Chain A
């Protein structure tokens, strides 16, 4: 059995049992409270630079399969769990979660008191850490030192690093996971959407296609002019990792796009949009990561149970109230979860309507985007 050690920058050390690849990685240690959907979490590029602690203690039960990947490979730096299943049991499983992560050289620390760890992060805030999944004979203090040397998330531009190197078309829609999947029938694809890739999740692309869009994905460094040259009916700003503040170039492009085409942003996309509209972003103490957050849609006055993955948020007071209407609020801690422009077809949410993992309560936002493009075209 491999000894695993997770060492935090504040000197706290957790010991467990190593799985996945026998390697050592550093990153920001964050926790996610979803019960299902670990594979989507592994492969969500927004987790780049982070060691993810899953609060649900039984992970790996249903293995891993190709369809549930949110990108080409896992992006987490490491995984910390209470119990990692030696066996996978599900009709869709292609391989064990363990083999999947090992194959992509991701370390796993299991049999760790994740509840104690999460309570620690909750009270002290997320922090840097080092995870080694083959730590036999390693001096924990050494790892603590390394954790302190690791780059801090604040001010870190990861989006451009995970973004696609060049433009590509995306045509695949959502396919059912079972003969009984309740999917709205896929629409024709009359609308052309250009999607900025800051670390985009595949399910956003699938959902755009499913609701009627032809999608062109462009790299994070694409100029607004080049985007417009593609004659988009709408522009999409994707989710992604890291601190939004360094993304000045992207904010500048978005500023130029507002008014030229309907814009829809998700997660980092909302933060970039916020910056473009002159707003500020800030770092949350321990972020929002999970599939159970109540968000009030102030327009419909209904609550949506939503999927979250963000460590930063847009400061509502920093937005100019005469341009921007706040549309979505998190009922747990009142963070801003969505807004729209009062004069232009521009809107965004901080959470993940595409789910994967998480509830589907907010899929309507994709229809809203299509409607905006429709109206805009007809005008």
Chain B
């Protein structure tokens, strides 16, 4: 069957903002789908609310809509575009759900749009857990006993029959939101109530527990002719009970005989056929009882998933790309294997290495959330590593995490071992290693963790190998010794620490001993056929397959695992750097270890090194490739940390000089620079003792912003309103020393914050965008909504900002991108910080202006000038880029994953993703952004307002507007009396501590649709927390700043006024006809 010719135009649905459980793996799948379909001559229309994605680049689709993924707006896109088909399977759960919703709303039928990939019936059969179980039993597959309940009593009945523990899973929630394990009656009632509430259909599946069983996943593909293959098998290191997204996983399976593996394979194929996924990739999860081999099927996802991204990177088999081709009618045997060129894609990849994935968590950013792992996914990112053995891969993966945690015994507490092993938690692997150091046996640890003894034994050997290093010295080391250590994946740093030597000295010594890294290829066929794709990983074997070219080449250092504050935006920049290099006739070499990303697609760069971003590994690649330049500007903090060491090792860093990047981070030097440029910044000082801190604070005047000068993970920044807050912070919150003082700034209250992204070539400075924040300074730039163009800042101030930006760019001799954050208070512009590198907002600005900032930046780093890019900037080489419409960027928060955490916003970033709203006026854009962010504003109903005295004036204005819009008001006593005094009708509500029914009851009773609640600053009282928590829990939008409240009014009036309308980026920027070739669309 060749491809279908009856389809011309295909709508692809993206997965929206990055949230826990749905990250940039869907940018990877969506991007592949766009490329594949266009390469086949189809017209692609794309809808995705996430501006930070590669897939939403105007060049990747014929028409790109950055619009809310709601039936309303998707329908409007369909009405305008009249696609022939909708591809539902590459946009994650969000894409799948929207497809189903559109089908059920009759929209697809009305406009004659065919659903390709998976049909609604199949999706339902797979997603509805009961239908699924029936289907599986029908084909003889075993599943855990279970029952679907709609109320708590039914749940208790089931528990009485089956006994505890029980697994609870709400229907149709993402990444297991609201699910959990009930060990007793209390848990059951607790989790069940929450689950019923969170499930859109108010159903929860209660299930027999198979905790402690081995967990497996198979990635399956099927074409219209019913040819089906297994792309990859994955075995979880963590047993059943820890979500696969939170589990350390290993590809391929390690502890199954062929008989058992084939049984699972048969099961997966039977499942796929029964569910009726007619084309594309699916993910099937199994559990096996380690005692007798009983196998149950856990679930199947009828779409590409996080695991299929992992499987694609692990095998070199591009699942999403092929899924897209199958969806338009190709057979698997009609598609070529890109890597071997001679063999077809209809085969089962076989690998000759081991792949390990480790998730990355950030509980530290959510005080109050218990750092334990269960059936609901909590991780914000992951790393993957490839090694010739499990040991080697595991050690590389641990390095890739960049947690900075030293893995030596010192860091852990022996008394905690049992508890840390029994209850799964982010630190468990480290505690397992620690336990081995302390002499625990494989059996003991298996007892406590249920981790398979085979894995444990390999971990133990690696730990012992490290322990035996102690007391050794560099000059005793033989070549055999070095090879043994490196083959086990032990880093030069670890060796150096044990042998009291410098890591670089260890490196020299082993290289002289003939032990240097070589590179093997990921080829999908275990070397049975020649590989034409330079997709490489380092090992300590004897033969190197890198064979570098002698072209002019530049290496890009990626951003490693996704984490809050460093996510997809930086991968976006890195990918563009790569595309740009290829445009400029330069070979692009990508280095990264994040399997979710587009940057680790072997198709993105000329050469891909899947490696940890450590000095050791990067130098290995430099030794082999000898690049003409290395780019550290695009990958966020990760490559910046390597910039100076690399420079000192003689590696040619291009773009802004690492010394200057550093200068911007250095308090004293940077302060001096600002003075010399006489650019104001908030008064500040440093302290190395509690007393000193209090003095400095008093000198600067309260409130002050306090933060450590050196941070691991969370930033631990607080706003202190008085001396004992400073004391408490110094005593409890931070570690500081003379070398690492605490930084104290005067905190600018009620200041407007502004983000600026600019390009500089040493002569000219071009301002990409001046972004006005909605929330005032004090809310982290990454956590506040912002708008392009600025809408309330006077032109004169904008010019000041422009002038400062130009001065700074020149002073720091920036070549490429620079980001500056300003705060405007009483007309004065203060600099908060300068980052001479690509920032989180680069993709957003690029999309709003239609000017590819990263591409130009690369040009500048290669020595070109802004003048040379006039054709891309509409002739502008300095000054400000124009913005044709209003573009609002809003953050998305994971609070629903961390019940009990206070969702109030502050100077520490906590959002995981962002969305963009486009409109002809600010209100329209803001309304769309809020809708996309999952916090839609109500268009009628009642509002609860409680504000501190500072905000009362502003609140009155806002309240009046709301009343005009027909809303009714509730308020706490103080606020209420003010409203009444001003002649506004308003119901008075008790504060939590004043009696019942109080504000919280009001929210629970769902009798308010919007909450406006500003903190009294100083101590955030328990009932403030309670109110915000309840709001989040019941999905009632909760606005914590007056500026936010004002914006909300604008948005709601726009909803009243403006029709549902959408714009494609191409029509906004009239750039539809950009060359496709450079985004290597020709496949």
Residues of chain A touching chain B, judged by Cβ–Cβ distance below 8 Å, are: 31, 33-37, 39-40, 55-58, 61-62, 65, 67-68, 82-83, 85-87, 89-92, 111, 113-116, 118-119, 122, 177-182, 290-294, 296, 301-303, 305, 331-333, 355-360
Tell me if B390 is interfacial: C-beta within 8 Å of chain A.
yes
Closest beta carbon of chain B to A56's beta carbon, Å: 6
Would A180 and B261 count as touching, CB distance under 8 A? no
Interface bracket on B: 35 or more
CB distance from A89 to the nearest CB of B (A): 4
Task: Give the complex CA separation of A333 and B260 in angstroms.
Answer: 30
Q: Find chain A residues with CB under 8 A from B526 CB.
A: 33, 55-56, 115, 118, 290
Which of B229, B252, B332, B454 is in CB contact (< 8 Å) with A35? B252
By the criterion CB–CB under 8 Å, are B390 and A356 in contact?
no
A301 touching B225 in the complex, CB below 8 Å, given contacts A114-B352, A178-B263, A332-B343: yes
Query: Hey, what's the 0/1 contact readout for B276-307 against A, CB within 8 Å counting as 1?
Result: 00000000000010111111100000000000
Chain B, 541-594, CB within 8 A of any chain A CB:
541-543, 545
Interchain Cβ contacts under 8 Å between A and B, 30 examples: A34-B258, A36-B256, A36-B262, A55-B528, A57-B353, A58-B354, A58-B390, A62-B255, A62-B257, A68-B257, A83-B389, A87-B453, A87-B454, A115-B527, A116-B542, A118-B527, A178-B260, A178-B288, A178-B292, A178-B295, A179-B293, A180-B267, A182-B141, A292-B347, A292-B349, A294-B343, A303-B227, A305-B229, A331-B346, A359-B348
In the bound assembly, the distance between CA atoms of A83 and B1050 in angstroms comes to 66
Per the 8 Å Cβ criterion, residues 308-341 of B in contact with A are 331-333
> Contact between B333 and A357 (Cβ–Cβ < 8 Å)?
no
Residue in A92, A115, A303 whose CB lies within 8 Å of B332? A303
Residue B140 at the A interface, CB < 8 A? yes
Interface residues of B (CB under 8 A from A): 140-142, 225-227, 229, 233, 252-263, 265-267, 270, 288, 290-296, 331-333, 342-344, 346-354, 388-390, 452-454, 457, 487, 520, 525-530, 541-543, 545
Q: How many A-B residue pairs have CB under 8 A?
A: 194
Q: Is the CB of B256 within 8 A of A62?
A: yes
Is A35 a contact of B351 with CB atoms below 8 Å? Answer: yes
Instruction: Give the contacting residue for B227; candidates A58, A291, A302; CB below 8 A.
Output: A302
Q: How far is the CB of B1005 from chain A (nearest CB, A)?
A: 48
User: Known contacts A180-B142, A302-B225: does B257 contact A56 (CB below 8 Å)?
Assistant: no
Instruction: Please measure, in the bound complex, the distance between the C-alpha atom of A36 and the C-alpha atom of B216, giving whole angstroms.
Output: 15
State the CA gap A332–B559 with chains docked (Å): 38
Name the A residues within 8 Å of B140 (CB-CB): 182
Chain B, residue nearest A111 (CB): B487
Residues of B with C-beta under 8 A to A177: 257, 259-260, 263, 293
Query: When the two chains form their complex, are residues A331 and B343 in contact, meaning their CB atoms are under 8 A apart?
Result: yes
Q: Which of A61, A180, A294 contacts B344 (CB 8 A)?
A: A294
**Supplied contacts A113-B543, A118-B528, 5 more A-B pairs, CB within 8 Å:** A33-B525, A87-B457, A290-B528, A303-B333, A331-B344
Which residues on the B side are within 8 Å of A113 (C-beta)?
Answer: 541-543
CA of A303 to CA of B334, assembled, Å: 11
Question: Is B348 a contact of A292 with CB atoms below 8 Å?
Answer: yes
Question: Which A residue's beta carbon lies closest to that of B542?
Answer: A113
Q: In the bound complex, what is the Cα–Cα distance between A356 and B295 (angstroms)?
A: 20
Known: A92-B293, A178-B294, A292-B347. A36 touches B261 (CB 8 A): yes
Which 3 A-B pairs give the minimum distances between C-beta atoms?
A37-B258, A178-B293, A357-B258
A180 near B354: Cβ-Cβ < 8 Å: no
Name the residue of chain B whose CB is nearest to the CB of A15. Answer: B542
Tell me if A91 and B291 are in contact (CB < 8 A).
Answer: yes
Residues of B within 8 A of A291 (CB): 258, 348, 350
Residue pair B257, A89 in contact (C-beta under 8 Å): no
Complex Cα spacing A260 to B981, Å: 109
Question: Binding site of A, secondary structure by majority: helix, strand, loop or mixed?
Answer: loop
Partner of A36, one of B258, B349, B389, B530: B258
Q: In whole angstroms, how far apart are the Cα atoms of A178 and B226 in the complex?
A: 27
From residue A299, how far is it (CB to closest CB) to chain B in Å? 14
> Given the complex of chains A and B, what is the CA–CA distance between A118 and B529 in angstroms?
10
Residue of B140, B252, B528, B541 with most partner-chain A CB within 10 A = B528
In the docked arrangement, what's the CA distance between A333 and B340, Å? 12
Closest to A304 in B: B227
Residues of A within 8 A of B530 (CB): 122
A179 to B288, CA, bound (A): 11
Q: Is B527 touching A179 in the complex (CB atoms < 8 A)?
A: no
Residues of A within 8 A of B266 (CB): 182, 360
A215 to B985 CA separation, bound complex (whole angstroms): 94
Residues of A within 8 A of B388 (CB): 57, 82-83, 115
Q: Which residues of A contact B256 (CB under 8 A)?
A: 36, 62, 90
Chain B residues, CB < 8 A from A333: 342
CA separation between A92 and B261, bound complex, in Å?
13
Q: How far is the CA of A57 from the CA of B487 in the complex (A)?
A: 13
**Distance of A35 Cα from B288 Cα, bound (Å):** 19
A56 & B352 in contact (Cβ 8 Å cutoff): yes
Complex contacts, B454 vs chain A, CB 8 Å: 61, 85, 87, 89
CB distance B265 to A359 under 8 Å?
A: yes
> What separation, in Å, do the CA atoms of A118 and B353 have in the docked complex?
14
For B259, what are the chain A residues with a Cβ–Cβ distance below 8 Å?
67-68, 177, 181, 356
Closest B residue to A92 by CB, please name it: B257
Q: Decide yes or no: A89 and B453 within 8 Å by CB, A57-B352, A292-B349 being known contacts.
A: yes
The answer to whether A182 touches B350 (Cβ under 8 A) is no
Is B260 a contact of A115 with CB atoms below 8 Å?
no
- Chain B CB within 10 Å — which of A85, A177, A358 has the most? A177
In the complex, the answer to whether A355 meets B292 with C-beta atoms within 8 Å is no
Interchain CA distance A89-B291 in the complex, whole Å: 11
Name A14's closest neighbour in chain B (CB-CB). B542
Identify which of B332, B389, B487, B520 contacts A58 (C-beta below 8 A): B389
Contacts of B262 in A (CB 8 A): 36, 355, 357-360
CB distance from A79 to the nearest CB of B (A): 15
A358 touches B258 (CB 8 A): yes
> What chain B residues lie within 8 Å of A296 (beta carbons)?
333
CB–CB A34/B344 < 8 A: no
A62 to B288 Cα, complex, angstroms: 14
For B294, the closest partner residue in chain A by CB is: A179
Docked pose: A21 CA to B227 CA in angstroms: 44
A181 partner residues in chain B, CB cutoff 8 A: 259, 263
Do A294 and B333 touch (CB < 8 A)? yes
Q: Are A293 and B347 in contact (CB under 8 A)?
A: yes
Which residues of chain A are near B343, meaning CB under 8 Å? 294, 331-332
CB-contact partner of A89 in B332, B353, B452, B542, under 8 A: B452
The CB with the most chain A CB atoms within 10 A, among B296, B332, B343, is that of B343
Residue pair A122, B527 in contact (C-beta under 8 Å): yes
Q: Contacts A40-B258, A115-B352, A359-B262 given: A305-B347 contact, CB under 8 Å?
A: yes
Contact partners of B254 in chain A: CB under 8 A: 58, 61
Which of A33, A61, A356 lies at the interface centre, i.e. has the most chain B CB atoms within 10 A of its CB?
Answer: A61
Which of A56, A67, A182, A355 is packed against the most chain B CB atoms within 10 Å?
A182
Contact A182 B263 (CB under 8 A): yes
